[in-house]
Structure 1
Amino acid sequence: MGFSQILYSWTAIFPVIVLLYYFFRKKYTDQPVSSTLFWSEIMQETRVSPYLKHLQKNALLYLQLLALLLLMLALMNPYIYKSKIAGSQVVFIVDTSATMLAGKEQATFELHKQEMLSLINDLNGRPITVITTGHAPIAILQQETNVNAIEQAIQALQVTYETAQMPKALDVAQAFIGDASTSVYIFTDALDKMQLPIEKDTVQWIVKGAAKDLKNIAITRFAATTDGKAAMALVQLRNDTKEMQQATLTLYDADNKELVSEKVNIPSKEIVAKTFKDLPVTQTMTAKIDANDDYLVDNTQTALLQTTSAALVVDQSLHQLIQKGFQAIQPNVKMVPALQLADNKDAVIVTNQVALLGQMKKPIILFGRDDTEKFEVAGNISMTNDALFAFSNLKDVYVGALYEGFDSYKTIATVGEEPFIQLSPEGDIIVLADIEDTDWPLHPSFPLFLWSVEQQLLESSSSLGIFAPNEERVVALAQGEWSVYSQDDEFLSTVVNGILTAPIKPDTYVVRSTEEEKRFIVQLQAQERVIEEGTSYTIGALPDNGQEELSKSSIVPWILLLVLLLLVVEWEVQRRRGFTN
């Protein structure tokens, strides 16, 4: 704490004058009275509470002295060190992912916005750059010095539900930092120190994280399918807390009518799976949990139900684990000899015959290749954010050998640097490995991947599938104008050149033309269903002429408020004594 107007300390003479006035004020003389009947009682009360009597007698003196001392203090303009911003410029990196909505009384995102607004008062003319995270980080402000513009931009910030992808945002920030001394504030929930590029001495990193005691119970998986007569649903719940939690799981149909409800006990740090059969057929099905947690966004998930119309044919020469896997998912799977596959023009075929690519009416599923030799590989599996991996994580799968990939096909999973799973422009799905060269069937992701493949290739044309928030994707739509609408029939956007940009909020949406409509779902990515323990820390220091710069916050308004309160109390004391006295 300090004083910026120490010269006004001479005003201390005013309290001294008031004190002298009380010393020389008029004194009353003793007056003898004719009766002492009540003296003993009065003297007894005085002896019992002499300090209270003294305070009552001199209350006005103390109140006036205190008010004058506070006014003198206000003239000296005391201040406290409130916050610290060093460097010649400031960069804000704002995490706008869905997990920022977690919080107790208030979401982490709103708390961070309040902190940003308080920090801009300490910029003192420094330029500020504000960067939001996401698949494509955006610099919404660049070297801005106008405080009003900065405040408006911060107030307008919104959660986009996209995965943060913080390394991309850090790369964008590096372009603005350059060689200038910079304070970089990262407003997120949790960030590992190892992700920060701390090789520069001219950058101070200040990470503002979420609270450390947030609770989360999440729906991690939800799938629903139907044979046209009845529906079946699979729900996985995870408890990230340190205690057993109870949640009420409820399934709803497309009209928000309750289908089934059940209380579920979830052990600490465990995953519980629930299966529901013989449910009514509906276009969409929504799973919701009612639980005592601090993150509500992952408590709801929606799935599209489609009746499969195309047949599924599996090559008899493929490994039995592939045959059994598809049979468990699709009861009507047919096993056909390799030489007869070409006769099933209207079916979706599972084979390793490369010659069938582009020859069938429906996309095919290729496991391995029969036209080339495989080679040994080593390395971890990396995946893109494709819908095929919405329910299956392949990171722990071992792959010992691969076939050569197709140059013109899109790679959605790799082993090291080599393609592992590809998509053709016609929609074919190619797995460039023999199943016996992997331990994939030992993992839960194998049947879930087969289910995703079956859903993507066999679902009817009334659905566009599952999208991530704000995802851009080329969709197969007929010629014409198509628009995106919410469930409440609110217009949101248009499809331009066959590219659909999904809305940011998870929900069910409709793409509509003048003659047709298709549904699709925007769903949280798996990373946004996990709450990490909040982390806040500072790395590095920026000296200003050998000393760090501290911002000063005046406390004069609080002093004046206290003086006003003292004047009110003084008036009340005077009123009780009587103004004539």
Structure 2
Amino acid sequence: MGFVSPWFLTTLIFLAGLVAIYMFKKQYEDKQIASDLFWREAMNEWQATKWWHKLQKHLLFYLQFLIILLLIFALIRPFSEVEQEIEGEHIIILLDTSASMSAKAKEEQSRFEQAKTEIEILLDKVQNNQQVSFILVGQTSELAVTKDTNLNELKEVLKSSELSYEEANFPYALSLVDALSVEQNISVHIYSDHLKEEELTIEGDYPLSVHNIGKENSNNAGIGAFVMLESEQKGYLQLYNESADEKVVEYQVKVDGEWLLTETVTLAGAQSTFIEMESIPAGFIYEAIIQYEDDYELDNRIVTFSQIAEQPTVYAVGHLSPFLLQLLPQISEQVVLADSYEAIHEFEPNSVIVTDSTDGEWPGKPTLFIGTNEGGPLRFSTKRELTERPTQQTDEALLNYLDFSSVFVSLARERTEEVLAETLVHSDSIALIERGVLDNELFLSINFDLHDSDWPLKPDFPIFMYQAIHYLAGDTTLLGYFSPSERREIHFPKIGIYQLIDENGRILDEWSSEDRFIQAPKKPGLYQLKHQDGEVEQQLFVQLPERDNQTTIEPSFEIGQSQGSTGAEQLNLKEYGHWLLLIAFLVLLVEWEVYRRELRI
């Protein structure tokens, strides 16, 4: 036992003052006495009164004395030394939010929920003078709480935390730990399931405890891989069994939502099995499912898409450069040559126009305009001479692998039609390549005649043309495979609003065709990006990260060493001042009630 502020003992003088006030204060009581005989009788009765009855006459004094005494002891802050259960001034907790943490740990509780329960038990051991930080570990870690001492607030954050299903990037998370540990003694606690010691490299010298959570013998069977060979009408399926016991599971295959086959297979303990399937009909979406009640549901389903990509039909309209005419058949097998728009009777649904900006009634299709001629739908101006080398955007996917700084352009035209457009390459404040929307259709424009440049002789030219044609055509049916919460730049094939819809028909997110990026859902599964008019439906599959494809756990371990200067036990000061203040307040309420009832003598 000790005192943090013993100099406040000088305030005991107030107690002496209170005693002096009561000693020198004259106190009287009015009594009506009929005669001296009755007065002597009253005095004798008072002297014979029990001592505690006499004390009651000074109850107000005793209560005031106790209140001042409690306040003085609260000021000197008495404390006792207790052993510190968790090392460090600053405790940093890292929680794995990857998909494998959704596996069952015991009964119906997932590893993630059990980890949150264990963290809450850890927080109950934290002392008042210890700070706590809380990091949710995914592909990019989230610092949920920073150096907080409010444990109730931290427990609320812990309670509301959710799985990200992303692969846990612990090296990045530990870099945050290093940033938080400057000039402080810290201890780090990681809650995961299959984290190994060799995966961790810590820069600082601090104790780190890894708590791997889960069943030692996981009851889990899953799908490792699903491959379709459409040319041979064959499929290959890899199934695995993580438990030591033999299991009988049922697997099913769907093609475009229709059941194709249902079979039963016996999986040996802790082994993989490869299954060859023949006579698989052609389709777009192939889905494999195993029907088995196990500890981990996310690896019981996998989706693969057709490898055959639909090529656009390219319409070359006008008198185009011979370099371009030779290149187009290499980009698409379906190229149609025409002198004018009127020469084309009907356009294919998935089509792209490449034109020299010839006059005529533009049919309103995704178009690559080339500034060979003056006028046209974009109303190109007369040619202007350029003096500077072209400059390009650095973060534009259409310009990947391109370097316009070495391209020479002598003359260029300006677009005078007022449309929504973005400049990708410019020179002398004149846009050389633009991307925009004309009559609700995407367009790209090369605002110079290819004969006025050496660009067709550069290796960049066919790369750009390939990327431009496929950007304008887009893929109206498939977006492909995504990681959980992956943000990716895509091309919307049609102007308007697009909605992200799950398999239950719920709208999860919404984007405009003017947006360049979409973000995939965090939970693995099959989703659909749908245009508001329902004409365009693009499929995407959020797949399970490879690391989380199995649920095997690793032993827990500890690394690092204590940051204390000696090997002695770390002690924490437990103060009682706040309790003394509470008691003083309660006594004050009693004192007020005594005064109100006029119990003073």
TM-score after normalising by structure 2: 0.51
Any runs of at least 4 consecutive aligned residues in structure 1 with deviations exceeding 4 A, and if so which? 224-227, 279-283, 305-308, 340-345, 405-409, 424-428, 542-545, 549-552
* Kept in 2: contact 1:542–1:548 (CA 8 A): no
Aligned to 1:120: 123
Q: Which amino acid aligns with 2:549?
A: R
Please give the residue correspondences for 1:88-237 in structure 2 after superposition, counting only pairs within 5 Å: 88-103=89-104, 104-105=106-107, 106-125=109-128, 126-198=130-202, 200-201=204-205, 203-211=206-214, 212-224=216-228, 233-237=235-239
Q: Residues of 2 paired with 1:278 and 1:210: CA distance?
A: 43
1:346 aligns with 2:335: no
1:475 aligns with 2:479: no
Aligned to 1:354: none
Aligned to 2:290: 289
Offset, 1:236: 1.5
Aligned to 1:489: 505
Q: Which has the larger radius of gyration?
A: 2
* Kept in 2: contact 1:470–1:504 (CA 8 A): yes
Please give the residue correspondences for 1:493-532 in structure 2 after superposition, counting only pairs within 5 Å: 493-495=509-511, 497-515=515-533, 516-532=536-552
Offset, 1:261: 1.0
Q: Residues of 2 paired with 1:347 and 1:459: CA distance?
A: 16
Q: Residues of 1 paired with 2:141 and 2:176: CA distance?
A: 7
* Kept in 1: contact 2:89–2:186 (CA 8 A): yes
Change (3 A) 1:550 1:531: farther
Q: Residues of 2 paired with 1:276 and 1:427: CA distance?
A: 36
* Kept in 2: contact 1:86–1:549 (CA 8 A): no
Change (3 A) 1:247 1:83: farther
Change (3 A) 1:84 1:281: farther
* Kept in 2: contact 1:225–1:307 (CA 8 A): no
Offset, 1:217: 2.2
Aligned to 1:541: 562
Secondary structure, in 3 states, of the residue corresponding to 2:544?
A: coil
State the identity %: 23
Q: Which amino acid aligns with 2:265?
A: V
Change (3 A) 1:425 1:121: farther
Change (3 A) 1:518 1:128: same
* Corresponding pairs, count: 352
Change (3 A) 1:130 1:345: closer
Offset, 1:158: 1.1
Offset, 1:269: 4.3
Aligned to 2:342: none
* Kept in 2: contact 1:220–1:526 (CA 8 A): no
Secondary structure, in 3 states, of the residue corresponding to 1:484?
A: strand
Secondary structure, in 3 states, of the residue corresponding to 1:117?
A: helix
Secondary structure, in 3 states, of the residue corresponding to 1:155?
A: helix
Q: Residues of 1 paired with 2:482 and 2:550: CA distance?
A: 19
Q: Residues of 2 paired with 1:460 and 1:474: CA distance?
A: 13
Change (3 A) 1:146 1:223: same
Q: Which amino acid aligns with 2:500?
A: V
Q: Deviations over 1:343-383 (max 9, x none)?
A: 555239xxxxxxxxxxx99xxxxxxxxxxxxxxxxxxxxxx
2:250 to 236, 248, 251: 248
Aligned to 1:45: none
Q: Residues of 1 paired with 2:112 and 2:572: CA distance?
A: 26
Change (3 A) 1:268 1:427: farther
Q: Residues of 2 paired with 1:294 and 1:82: CA distance?
A: 40
- In structure 1, stretches of 5+ residues that fail to align are 1-80, 312-339, 349-359, 362-404, 410-423, 429-455, 553-581
Offset, 1:127: 1.8
1:464 aligns with 2:479: yes
Offset, 1:215: 3.8
Offset, 1:213: 2.3
Q: Which amino acid aligns with 1:528?
A: D
Aligned to 1:300: 301
Q: Note the aligned Cα RMSD (angstroms).
A: 4.2
- In structure 2, stretches of 5+ residues that fail to align are 1-81, 313-325, 335-353, 356-399, 405-462, 575-601
Q: Residues of 2 paired with 1:281 and 1:343: CA distance?
A: 27
Q: Residues of 2 paired with 1:172 and 1:526: CA distance?
A: 25
Q: Residues of 2 paired with 1:504 and 1:480: CA distance?
A: 25
